[in-house]
A and B are shown apart, each in its own frame.
Chain A
């Protein structure tokens, strides 16, 4: 076992690891990032071939359990109605994300004060606003300024074109008198920072062959590496080690050949998302930390939040060319985002419009639901729906509940023999009511837009993209894992920068906030370099 030493060790090269690495690079410290996945090659993404739909259901499947790459780790999700979606590579899950890039609202940081539920964050929107802005500039966010659902903000790039599906649904929202706005999208709609502009390939969620989508491997990482950060792939961390004073001393990891390596570090930063981060902490047991590292509060792994999703789709009379344009990014509506006194739930949701489905997905979905038969009538039934559907997902705020949690599975291990995570999760009554409300409003707007044959699914099973809350931030060490600038309350040289530090989930996709938080924490570290561990 060889031992080397770095100043800063970052575990995970996804959205947050990339952002924190880039920001800390200016310190000229020796920074190393260990990533269990590979660099991805856009030339190998599915949209380069005719079989793009098949490949997106195989090696590019959003479920690590289905995909089963040797860079993935398995997850026991038998006791969760929502299954985890992620990707393990440089860029992490941004490789497969839809690139939806909404910010939180100011109210999202004050849910206890405003609505009497969950907890307030120890920071507020104003604190994060400059880091949101910097992150938008680094990522290249497309959108349109002036959204009345948000405080004023600049948007660096022009919005993605709506196409026929987006315009059709926008008319439906106008007919209802409801809010809608072009989505903030991490998509280069014009050439940006060495990236080509989007050419509407459609299937962003199996990787962008064009390189227009702002996945972290092509936004932050090239800059971080040019600034001196070292990124090492195929390195899977088993545990964080500690010294006799209870400080993190480094990590033990498995390299690409499966050899166990040890590495010493002055500072350790976890950036492994709301599942991977508690997994490593819980795997890092020692006499000083018998319940897992930084787990004095017992909150490591608890308060897991997904975003419960529903899906609503309608069939329209004419073809919509929905295969053209970013599949997940078009328009959104936040008409029901803020808590409404006339509703039977607190907090709210965003409706995010989706474009069409490919022919394979249309046919399989129709055949499994019985809408498209075998044999005589197959072609006619297919033509009645293909390229004529548009719809939306309803993305609901999930509130933290201690019983929703990540633990270590007693039996399941990854290919290196490291205990795998187990998810226990139950949908709350509040979420179920919110989903039902969202589906009903979705049906209304689709019909107002001219749809017939409206169908829905709620909750969506394979929609656990957003894993949050499992090492939450706060000022009270008994009620949180890290402080208001991401440092562990107990282990003064251990930081967490991913979605696990979220106090609440808001009702929007979290990547933009995850990265803004990572930049904010990096800035807090830089300002305190002389007394970082005090």
Chain B
């Protein structure tokens, strides 16, 4: 875990610590990439989970005392609805982060307004198709 976590009025400090741990079990810092518990990313994760406080709280309680990293090796464990929710939020918050995208070789910006350039197509590729007879049935 890369940052100290404190309560934000929705989740307790302990819950946030648990959540950050869970986020980094899913996406740890490695291979030159930050983990999902990094401050900027984790802040977004907490914001997005605010609307699911009850589900998250109950889910975190169910993990108390469990070796989550070990348990997560079982697909059935990962497929629990509350963990699917957290996975969805962790993954979206992580991969929508500009720094993460830059590390992946992207530009770290929304598609609009700049858009993207594409090379002109070499239509010589079509030559074999152009030489074909009409394919459609005449009626």
Contact = CB atoms under 8 A, between A and B. Distances in A.
Interface string B62-75: 00000001001001
Given A146-B130, A370-B75, A380-B31, A54 B96 contact: yes
Contacts of B96: 50-51, 53-54, 359-360
Nearest to A380: B31
B135 A200 contact: no
Contacts of B25: 374-375
Best-buried of A199, A209, A334 by chain B (most CB within 10 Å): A199
B71 to A, nearest CB: 11
A161 B116 contact: no
Contacts of A166: 121
A319 interface: yes
B136 A151 contact: yes
B78 interface: yes
B26 interface: yes
Interface string B42-63: 0000000000000000000000
Contacts of B104: 359, 383, 386
Contacts of B100: 359
Best-buried of B111, B114, B123, B136 by chain A (most CB within 10 Å): B111
B1 interface: no
A53 B97 CA distance: 12
Contact of A201 (B72, B112, B128, B135): B112
A199 B118 CA distance: 9
B38 interface: no
B135 A50 contact: no
Interface size class of B (residues with CB under 8 A): 35 or more
Interface residues of A, number: 74
Interface string A336-379: 01110000000000000000001110111001001000111011
Nearest to B69: A375
Q: Interface on chain A toward B: helix, strand, loop, or mixed SS?
A: loop
Given A364-B91, A380-B31, A324 B118 contact: yes
B76 interface: no
Best-buried of B72, B94, B115, B116 by chain A (most CB within 10 Å): B115
Contacts of B109: 50
Contacts of B69: 375
Interface string B1-38: 00000000000000000000000011110110100000
B121 A161 contact: yes
B116 to A, nearest CB: 4
Interface in B112-137: 112-123, 125-126, 128-130, 132-137
Given A106-B136, A338-B136, A359-B104, A324 B116 contact: yes
Given A106-B137, A148-B133, A200-B117, A170 B125 contact: yes
Contacts of A106: 136-139
Given A51-B92, A149-B136, A378 B125 contact: no
A112 to B, nearest CB: 11
A53 B92 contact: yes
Given A106-B136, A167-B122, A201-B115, 9 more contacts: A105-B137, A109-B139, A148-B136, A149-B135, A163-B118, A180-B129, A323-B111, A359-B95, A359-B101
Interface of A: 45, 47-54, 105-107, 109-110, 113-114, 124-125, 144, 146, 148-151, 159, 161-163, 166-167, 170-171, 173-174, 177, 179-182, 198-203, 209-210, 319, 321, 323-325, 334-335, 337-339, 358-360, 362-364, 367, 370, 374-376, 378-380, 383, 386-387
18 contacts: A45-B112, A49-B110, A50-B97, A50-B109, A105-B137, A106-B137, A148-B135, A161-B118, A163-B118, A167-B121, A174-B128, A199-B114, A209-B113, A335-B135, A360-B96, A363-B94, A379-B27, A379-B30
